[in-house]
Structure formats: structure tokens, C-alpha cells
Structure 1
């Protein structure tokens, strides 16, 4: 029985990327049905050709050509003239040298969508810096934001910026393709490692004119994280307080208040576990698996910090297709990451594609919408998702952040939360980092009085998105099947913790637990050290971006068929994608990966941090030439070499030897928000908040060239737009007052709100 073609069937993609982000982005497109030609450039220094890149390049047509010579460039132009999408990671100067800058590409093929994923934004002063994640993180100051087992900045083992950039790139391409359906023309859909690295910092780096004490405090990196060692030596990550679990409750009672207080006093206060110290002492009395089984039975979210690659044997991951059986031509039968999203027709693992024959023309383009596209490029004065209406019913982080991304891309988003507020509002700075661009309606879902309002909101929406656990969603009447019964053409998106299928489909889960399950907490701790979480909430942000990709796939198909659908993403699926550095072999073994050293400084002498006499430098030498130059410069003891130099001297010597390096900046939260180079590249957004006054937050995550982003609406205060939204739905003042009186809604007085200001981008 033949399979239904994928959503992107007939879409023609050229992959000219060398690094992780671009090659992962095109793999997502290939899994959705696109025809991808993967070009390798003879003599180019690719950042990897091992297991990771075997996984990233699967299902693509391999093709070797050198665009630096005339025959190679001619062949490439022939491909691009018939292509729909180009993804590359060339810097602007490299692209110009090859005749692949934006203007040249638009002239070659006006329908071409081109996505560059460089180190820095195209308009940034550092746009031509080497495309190396560690160097970008060093200059941004993010290596200083990660807690470690020693003082000072630490090397971040997980290439989280590359993985987030891969999803931003795929989302940007899809948004531009949707805009192309309106206009008939393509254009830019750029992002960068720097913008991706800043995604999780939306929770931490922001400034307010009148911050509350909670906003001003933020979430310091010194906050203790509930990683506890069990009696068998394994570590368990527990999210929120486990005190109600019977074993824990009994043990706390047996300890008595004084002993509990004494254990708690050994650690700083925890915002997630009031008895953090006592929990740690009690968990040390039983084996890890016994604790996890007990916690799961009593709805306490917990995971063992597992070895890297162990997730391939996980029943839940297998049930959702997040683990795929792949016959690799070199490695034989393997287990690898599968598609991270659920759409219809489904994304599929593509088998290794045959070599591409340039003499055989690509098939005809996929059919465009039946409606005629708007003439010319005038419509590009609007953001790519202009006119899309989104209803955000989510809470906490992954669901709301996905809707913020849609708002940045131009969608009109209405956020619905209870009159008591989204549970994340208590962490004010984190909450504000997921809510830009939305209008807020306070509404108590699940009540008879709210049902007509909910139904009216659904009927006017194109997309409904949330991350509420399905049993609760069904009680509230917002499960996808319930919503699509009201409006079949809806695209309904759900983000879960563990995926929509399998025994843990309805379980609670959080970002840190997926880091633990997928092996990143053990790897992040460094050799011989306790595990360490990645502070940046990367699982939530990866799942949010993957969910947006799924939404845009659903909208792309709806344009062609008129049919809506339910789409799904999850924390587990998005995080498991990042395990592609290793695969499981037929004998059960896991292919090797590079491990972080005990000092948490790096994974190789040529890819690590070095402490100088006054500060730190980061080195990322990948090419044979750069490696040889580094070894010649530093002899047999690189750390001793750098210890004798100041940071400025070290950087000067590395630059003279043409070894890629960067200063490791520290305490950059405030300086980032004042930096004119970041402002010029669109990395700041400023507006007036109803309570905080003037705000500045992290800005643009994409650059669409001739299409703007929508970055001018501040995060909403609770109930800020309730009255306006209800009036738009047809309710008069008496009806609104009745809802307020019944506690169904909350309307913020208009006099308490300041006007919205234009963003600085």
C-alpha cells in the first residue's frame, strides 16, 4: 500500500550548509516530504562528518560541487533556478564572494526562499565572524550564565543554540513559503546562532522602568536545582515539591521539624521545593528506580539522569515515533531520532536517497493555492503571518512561547488565562519573556458562563494552541477533537511533555526532566562530576519552536486542501532530536561522543575555554589548518601558555595565527541591552508595559529582509484586554459586567494602562 505524500511533497530544497543548524533544518523539511539536495563542497571545512551528520543528512540527495569555480557555480545556479528553498550558513561576505548574496539570489529566482543561518544576524557588526557556537556564546556572555561546579564561565556541552537555530530556520522557511503563497515571490528568512542562543534568555535578560521586586530579582543562576543522588549512586531530577508523595511525607514526619529545618538550611531557598535539603537527605536512602516509580505513581514529575543514548530504549519515545529504526549503509541497523512532530500526512524518516543527477530535471512545483497571489511584492510590507488569528490557551512556558513566536511573525494572538492568572505570572520576568505581542483575556474556562465566549473565540480563530494536559483539556472542552467539532478547518496544536501516545501521554513533565532523560545533565556535569542542568530551559524552547513548525505545516496544507488538522509536539520529542550525536547499534551499544572534561572547560584542547591572567578566552579550531596553528602556538601545555597572557594578548596571538577565538564576556545582562551593535541588528525590542512602564527585551529572532516582524506589543497585564476582546465578540457592557460579577472574567481598568510604544528593532 503506497503512502500518502508528505505535506511538502514537490518542494525542492538545496542544502548548502556545513554546520548542525542548517543541516538539521533541511532534515525537518525532508521528513515533511521535501526533496532535498545536500551539497558538499570539496575542500570546505565541514563542522562534522561523523554520526551526527549521518543522521542530519539522511534522506537527502548527495551532490558534490564547488561553487568557487565556474563550472560548480553554473551547476549550482541551475539547481537554484528550479528550487523553492536554499539553506546555507555562509557569512554575508562569503555569500557575496560566491554570488549567493540575497540580491543575486532574488534576481536568479524570484520565487526562491533563502535562509542563512550564520553566527550573527545579517545586519550585525559581527556578521562575518566565524560560525562557531562556542564563540558566539562566549561573546554574548552566556557561558557566564550557566551554573557550574566551579566559579567562572563554563563550557556548555549541549549545542543548544545550533538546535534552536535549526527550528528557527525551518520555521522561517515555512513562514516565508506561506507568505509566498500570497505574493508569488520568495525572499529572505534568515536567523543565526546568536538569535537562537538568545531565545532562552528572553526569560532572564529584560529591563523595566518600574519593576516589581519579583521582576527585579528574576531567577538567579544560584537557585538550587533539585538533582538528588539516590542510595545506588544514580541521580534523580525532581520538579516541584515531592512532599506529598507518601514515602517523602512519612520520612519528613519522622525527621521532625527541627531536623527538616536543619537540612534545609544547608542550601539556598528553592522556588520549587520548600524542603529542598530534607528532600535531598531522604532521597539518599533508597535506590533511584524505586523513588522514580513511587513519584510517578503519585503524580510527581521526576526522571533519572540517564546516560547519553539510553533514551533510545525508552518505551514512551518508541511509542511516539521519536525513535526510528534506520538501516545505515555504514553502521548497519541503528536506532536514531525520528520526527519530533505529529502532523497529517505524517512526517517520516526518509531512507538514504540516491545521488542526484543534475541532468534529470526536478519535478514540477507543488500546486499553489487556487486563489491568485497578490500582485508584486507590496504585501511584504506586512509580517509573514499577517492576518493569522491565534487563540493561546496555554500556560507556563512551551505553549505560550510558541504563541509568542507566532505573534512575532505577525499573527494576532489572544491569550486566555484564568482570572487568577497564568501560573507562571508568579515568576514575573520569565512570564514576560513568553508573552510579547499578545492581547490578554481573563476567562474562567470550564464554566457554563464562559462557554459561549470560548466558542466565539474558537470560531474566529485560525489556530488554537495550548499545552494543557489532555485529561484537563477534555474537561475544559478544549481538546482538539472538541474544538474542531466547532470549526473543522482549525489547526489545533498541542504541546505535551511525553508525546500524544504511549503510557506517559498524560503525565506531567518539564524541561529539566527531558534534559535528564536524554543524557544531557550527566554530560553537562563534566567527567567525574555530579550532573548539571542546562539553565536555559532549552527543552521548552525547542518544543515551542517545533510546535510552530508543525502549525505552519498544517497551515501550508490547509491552503492547498482547505482542511484543518490537529498537530502535536512535545518536550520529549524535541529534546530527543538533540541526541543525534550518537545512535544505538544492533548490539545495544551507543556510538561514542565527545565528553566534557572535569573542569567543565571543553571537549578538546582545540575546542575549550582557557583561563588567562585576567579573564577567559574561548577557542574553536576545527579546520586542519587552525588546529595545526593552535598546536604550534601553544606547544604541549595550552593552559600554561594562556595563564601567562592577558585576555587581550591571548586574543591578539590567536588572531595572528588565524585560530578562531573570542573573549568570554561575563555579567552581560545589562550591557547586552545597552549595546548599539545589538540594537542595530534588531536584537532589542522596546515598548510600554501597563505595570512596568518602559520595557526592553530581546528582539528579533529572524530577518525577513523586505518583511518586518511584529515586535511592538508589550507583554500584557492580567485582564488588560478583556473588555476590548469581549466587545469584539459582541458582548455589551451589561453582559461583561455580569461575567465580572460572577468571577468569570477580570477587566483591568483602562486608566491604569499606559499606551503601547513602537518597538526598537
Structure 2
């Protein structure tokens, strides 16, 4: 029995985000029927289609015909989940909106994953990742050399939307086990953008300056070597940074240069330019310094690290031959995910019997994960953020830190958003009394999360076998860098190391220098996948009565968030490549400056090309769609836009049938009425740091609302309250505090 075995999903979505969400559920044995229009999925020719739609049966239905709609409604009547990604107007026109379908089918999970929002003019745009990021301010948050937006080669926001969608559907199914009721669930592109690039701003905290493509901090930066090759130095923590100086025989100047970022950066740039990359990597790794070479994703996916981690699968396609793709991104020990096959066309939908009546009476309105207790030992981003995502769904999450604190802890907006909604417990697990308390808490907990380096939790006596002996229903999720098998498993790792080795940096830089993604892609991906995997394991526990161990890694997510790019077969088309401060993919698919800001064009057909030509007086046609991003046509368009007002130009382009949007700077995006119209943003107040504004939630539920109920805790802020809630008597709590096994802030 696997997590979603027996769950029937009617997937009406196209492209990437919706199909990928259904893929993640299908990997856990949900039966997925994908409904496509007579022309097929709009991205049927993209290599990623084979992965986004694996484990699915594909049926063709024309929803604009009476027969097609009748067949679709029959399929929905027998489904547990109906998944859509239509724009708001089409949902309403077809009568497939959540209110209508859940009224007709009270047990149905109606999942809507629109590419933008659910309200307002921008929500009707055709799906383009570049337009979504433009509207949410992401292109101005990516590190750049010039003051301009940057087009991201990877569709990061849609990957996050996909994983959030799978998580929300799983949470709604889990809640249905409790209440007997379905509901409407919405995970929009805005939710995906918020998860990967959280839109948070504190009124009293100065935001960090925009970064530069190699990375501004010398300890966490790209370096070019004597042979022209690049590597990333990933010494985020001081102990690793010190080891790097010792490897370079510069330990005597470490204390001085640690405080002099500019001086250290210039010195290290000069040093690393003196020898070939492989020599530096060998020296640094011998001193346990986290570092990684920059290389193409194709070599990474085909290479030994991915193979040793068990993350490469090969399936046979009747026409294409062997097709390689990544394995599922997390391993569940008792109910593992499985890829059974490539998309399989079928002549007609299955005859699913209509679902019977659901439980009567008042349906509970508690959040989907209400009552689930999570003990989170995770730090930095991947582990910590996973807890916040579960808290957003209603779980009671306890962030456990030792006296040294989460090394990422600060009053900066990143730490605050990645740890919002949880309670803080100060517990020194190096002390036997603290470990005893932790294991007592495990007895009544549901989930434990950690991102310790391989072997650490067993040395602390809190590995999965120890937890299971205490509580057979516990779900233990452990995150590391390279997985838990092979010679790389014990190595330290950080997000940019996967960006470097996994090909993200090289792809964004294209034929120019590699570029560090300012978004911690693999960290935010891992957090989302951990939350989704925990929800899958909770669903499995309903069926089996037992918990299990989950293992995931940054490596796995470097593949998942490049899923469409790493699918490989003979003769596959090349992937998109970026460039220095990349503005787009083609002359008619890129960002352009106007007199008072920037606009985004996303033309894919002749009609749109002619529309741009009409508005700008250039006389364009289908042949111009192939013009390069930096060629003659791009210069002509730039000249035509130079003196025009941004918003009036966007209006004219939209009226001419062109997919276009303003490219907003981050502050402008936070104040955009459209985001507030969609209920995307919300003000809140931190008791110590003051007023803030950030994303309201990462998914919306019609009957069991999700969202944050607590601000980010200070170190050990809730220690007394948490220990009391877990049954410790007051004298014992005070004894633990007195011995330093537990602690609170502010100090006693």
C-alpha cells in the first residue's frame, strides 16, 4: 500500500505546474487520467512532457463540445481529485469552478492551479513564467551587474507551484479522512512565486542590497581558476571558512580578513587565479571545505554522483528509444514512490463509478494539518523552511535549537520568513537530560525533521531506529546534501554547490560567466518536497497505522527543479541558455526598458508578433519570432520603446493581443493592488521587530483555511510553554533550565 494508492485524479491541466503536481501524486500510485484537448497538451513537444506526465493515462476530450464535456463530468463524478489550471474566465464559462463542482460532488477535492492569480486583469494572461516573475518583482531580485531585470532560465516559480499543489491536494485528502468532506483547493502561480522568493518586508529593517552574479560574500562565491574553469566556494559557516584559510596556509590572517569582506574577496580572487581548478578542489576537499565545480547539467545527470544516489531512471519509448529522467525526489522507506512508465494514450476515459455519499453533519473547519505535531531540528533554509510550510497548513511545529542557535538565525527577512509560524524550544541535545526530554516528546509527536550531516543523528541517539522504538507511528524525515548512499553522501553541502555541479549556474550564464541564482533554488525546493513528502507519509499512515523514514537531499531537488531540462533521449532539442544579465530568450520574448520602467514581451505566434509590430510601427511577422535576443530586431524594438510610458505601452500591447506585462521592482510589486486583490499579501507584526508585510499563505482551502498564526520565534522563546504542553511538570522544567539542558530567551 502506497501513500495515494486508490486515489483517482482527473488531471485537466497542461504545461508544467499542474501536470507536475499530478506527477508527484502519481509517483505514489494515485491513478491519474490526464485529459488533453484535441491538439494535445500545449507543451507536448517539450522533453519535460515525458516526465511531468509519467505514470498517467492520456485521453483526448474536447471540452467545448457537448460530448466532451459530458465525458469530462462523468470522469469528475468518479474522481477523488479534479485538477485544473484554466484562467478564471474559462473555469466559469465551463462551469468547472470549485463551488459548482464541490456542491455537486461533496467528497471531491477540486484543485485549481492557475498560472497567475484568481482575480484581476493579469490573471487572464496566457501562461508564461517570465510574465509571472515580472509581475511579482523576481527579475529585480536576481543578482545582476547592471540595474536591470534578469530573465531566469529555470521556471522556478512553476516548480514550486507544482510541489505546493501536490502538498495541498495531499493535505486536503488527509483532512477528508477526518471529516469525510472534500473542498476546493487553490495553489496559484502567485503561491509558487511566494514560496521560492518570499515577498517579505519589515518596516523597520533595511533590506539587503541586490547581489552580483558571482556572489558578493567571499566565503560564498564563484571563483575563476588559471585554466578558465570556475568553482563555488561554499563556506557559509565560519568553521568551514576558517578551514579554507587553513588549506591556503592563511590561517594567521583569518581573524583580520573575516571582518574585511572586500579585502578577503580580492585576495581570494587573486589566489584562485594562480592554479587550475582541479588542484584547488583537491586541496580544499582534503581539508573538508565545501566546494564544487561549475559544469553542465548534462554531465551532472549522466555522471557518478547522480548514479550513486540512485536518482537516474531509464524508460523505453516506442519512438524515441531509451528515455532517462530523474527518480522521485524523496525516498519513503515503507511506501516508496515508483515510476511505472511513460505517458500512455488511451482511447477513452475509464468508467470510474460515481463516488457515494459523504459523512453528513457539520464539516470541521480546522486547518488541514490541525493536530499534527512536528519536532523540527532543521536549520538554515531547507530544514527550517520545511517546518514553516507545514505550520502554514496548520501543523503545530516546534523549532528546536541548541545554545549555539540555528547558524542562519538573524533579524533579517530571510530567516524570519523561513521560520514563521512555529514555536521556539531551546534544548541542548548534547546533554543526556535534554536528549531524554526530546525522546519523551517523540512519544506524542507525529513528525521529526532534521538536516544533520550524515551520521550525526545516530551519534546523538535520535536516528530513525531509536525514534521508531519509542513511537512506531513517528515519521522521521532527514535531509542531506548528496543523499545517503555512495562516497559523496557524507560530504557537507549547500545550495550553491548543487547550483554549480547541477548545471544551473552554467545554464543561466550561457556562453558568458556562470551566475549564482540569488534564490536558494535547491534549498527552497527541498523544503517544499519535504513538506509534500511528510504529507504523503501522513496519508500512508492512515492506511497502514505505522510511520516511516523519509530521506531526501539537495541533489534530488537539483534534478526535480530541472526536470524538464534533464530528461534525456537521442536527438532531444537543446535547452534554453542564458547570458550575462540575461533579458530573455528571443527578440520577441524578453524584457525591454521604457521611459519609466520595464516591460515583458512573451510572443509565441504570428498574431502576437504582428501585434507588437502594429503597436510599435515595425511591421513584424512570423519569421521575426526566431530573431535572437540581442540582434538587430531587439535593438529596433528597444529604440521604439525608449520614449514610451510603460503602463500605456502594456495596455496597447494587450489590446493588440500580445502577451505582455510590466516588470515590477520588488517594492512596487509588494504595493501592487493586484496582489492584494488576490488576497496574496497580508500585514502582520513581530512583537520585537515591528510591522511587516509578507505572503498570506502558500495555498488556499475553501473549508479549512490555511495560513500563519504565529510570528517567527526568538531563540528558545517558548521553552517553558512547549515543555509543559508535552507533559513535563514545572519542577522538572526548572531543573532542566537550571542545568542548561534547556534554555529560554530573554535570559532568566
TM-score scaled by length of structure 1? 0.89
1:11-30 aligned at under 5 Å gives the runs 11-30=7-26
**1:655 equivalent in structure 2:** 654
Aligned equivalents of 1:313, 1:22: Cα separation in 2: 27
1:515 corresponds to 2:505:
no
1:163 to 155, 159, 168: 159
2:711 to 700, 711, 714: 714
Aligned equivalents of 1:490, 1:620: Cα separation in 2: 48
**1:109 equivalent in structure 2:** 105
Aligned equivalents of 1:506, 1:246: Cα separation in 2: 18
Aligned equivalents of 1:88, 1:196: Cα separation in 2: 16
CA deviation map 1:305-342 (0-9, x unaligned): 11132221232322333211122333211321221111
Aligned equivalents of 1:15, 1:152: Cα separation in 2: 38
Aligned equivalents of 1:39, 1:62: Cα separation in 2: 6
**1:31 equivalent in structure 2:** 27
Q: Which one is further off, 279-288 or 511-520?
A: 279-288
CA contact (8 A) 2:78 2:353 kept: no
**Displacement of 1:96:** 0.9
CA contact (8 A) 2:59 2:349 kept: no
Query: In structure 2, do the counterparts of structure 1 residues 726 and 429 end up closer, same or farther at CA, with 3 Å as the change threshold?
Result: same
Q: Which one is further off, 442-451 or 606-615?
A: 606-615
1:537-556 aligned at under 5 Å gives the runs 537-556=520-539
TM-score scaled by length of structure 2? 0.90
Aligned equivalents of 1:376, 1:320: Cα separation in 2: 49
**1:429 equivalent in structure 2:** 413
**Displacement of 1:159:** 0.7
CA contact (8 A) 1:615 1:664 kept: yes
Aligned equivalents of 1:487, 1:351: Cα separation in 2: 36
Aligned equivalents of 1:74, 1:545: Cα separation in 2: 36
**Displacement of 1:388:** 0.8
3-state DSSP of counterpart to 2:113 = strand
CA contact (8 A) 1:81 1:109 kept: yes
2:284 to 281, 295, 306: 295
**2:590 equivalent in structure 1:** 608
**Displacement of 1:714:** 0.7
Aligned equivalents of 1:657, 1:45: Cα separation in 2: 25
**Displacement of 1:108:** 3.6
**Displacement of 1:580:** 2.7
1:59-78 aligned at under 5 Å gives the runs 59-78=55-74
**1:269 equivalent in structure 2:** 261
Aligned equivalents of 2:341, 2:154: Cα separation in 1: 27
3-state DSSP of counterpart to 2:202 = strand
**Displacement of 1:730:** 3.6
Query: In structure 2, do the counterparts of structure 1 residues 522 and 299 end up closer, same or farther at CA, with 3 Å as the change threshold?
Result: same
1:414-425 aligned at under 5 Å gives the runs 414-425=398-409
Aligned equivalents of 2:141, 2:465: Cα separation in 1: 42
2:134 to 130, 135, 138: 138
**Displacement of 1:277:** 2.5
1:378 corresponds to 2:363:
yes
Q: Which one is further off, 218-227 or 230-239?
A: 218-227
CA deviation map 1:453-488 (0-9, x unaligned): 112211110111111123221122222222112111
**1:395 equivalent in structure 2:** 379
**Displacement of 1:599:** 5.4
Query: In structure 2, do the counterparts of structure 1 residues 79 and 120 end up closer, same or farther at CA, with 3 Å as the change threshold?
Result: same
1:465-484 aligned at under 5 Å gives the runs 465-484=449-468
CA deviation map 1:431-474 (0-9, x unaligned): 11111111111010121121231122111101111111232211
**1:595 equivalent in structure 2:** 577
Query: In structure 2, do the counterparts of structure 1 residues 551 and 653 end up closer, same or farther at CA, with 3 Å as the change threshold?
Result: same
**1:226 equivalent in structure 2:** 221
CA deviation map 1:494-534 (0-9, x unaligned): 12111122222222111111111221111112x43211111
1:560-575 aligned at under 5 Å gives the runs 560-575=543-558
2:96 to 89, 97, 100: 100
**Displacement of 1:675:** 4.3
**1:703 equivalent in structure 2:** 700
3-state DSSP of counterpart to 1:390 = strand
**2:336 equivalent in structure 1:** 346
CA contact (8 A) 2:117 2:678 kept: yes
1:240 to 235, 239, 244: 235
3-state DSSP of counterpart to 1:383 = coil
Aligned equivalents of 2:304, 2:353: Cα separation in 1: 39
CA contact (8 A) 1:321 1:339 kept: no
**Displacement of 1:742:** 2.0
Aligned equivalents of 2:295, 2:164: Cα separation in 1: 28
Aligned equivalents of 1:351, 1:359: Cα separation in 2: 18
1:628-707 aligned at under 5 Å gives the runs 628-630=610-612, 634=618, 635=620, 637-645=633-641, 646=644, 647-666=646-665, 668-669=666-667, 671-707=668-704
CA contact (8 A) 2:294 2:503 kept: yes
CA deviation map 1:560-586 (0-9, x unaligned): 110110012211101212333344657
**Displacement of 1:156:** 1.2
**1:408 equivalent in structure 2:** 392
Query: In structure 2, do the counterparts of structure 1 residues 573 and 427 end up closer, same or farther at CA, with 3 Å as the change threshold?
Result: farther
CA deviation map 1:171-229 (0-9, x unaligned): 01101110111122212221111221122333x62214xx4xxx535464353451011
1:496 to 480, 494, 500: 480
Aligned equivalents of 2:386, 2:197: Cα separation in 1: 15
CA contact (8 A) 1:382 1:707 kept: yes
3-state DSSP of counterpart to 1:523 = helix
CA contact (8 A) 1:113 1:189 kept: yes
**1:755 equivalent in structure 2:** none
3-state DSSP of counterpart to 1:691 = coil
Aligned equivalents of 1:652, 1:694: Cα separation in 2: 35
CA contact (8 A) 2:82 2:108 kept: yes
Aligned equivalents of 2:651, 2:160: Cα separation in 1: 31
Aligned equivalents of 1:253, 1:9: Cα separation in 2: 57
CA contact (8 A) 2:508 2:579 kept: no
1:731 to 709, 728, 731: 728
**Displacement of 1:235:** 1.0
**2:322 equivalent in structure 1:** 333
Aligned length: 722
Unaligned stretches of 5+ residues in structure 2: 625-632
3-state DSSP of counterpart to 1:172 = helix
**1:535 equivalent in structure 2:** 518
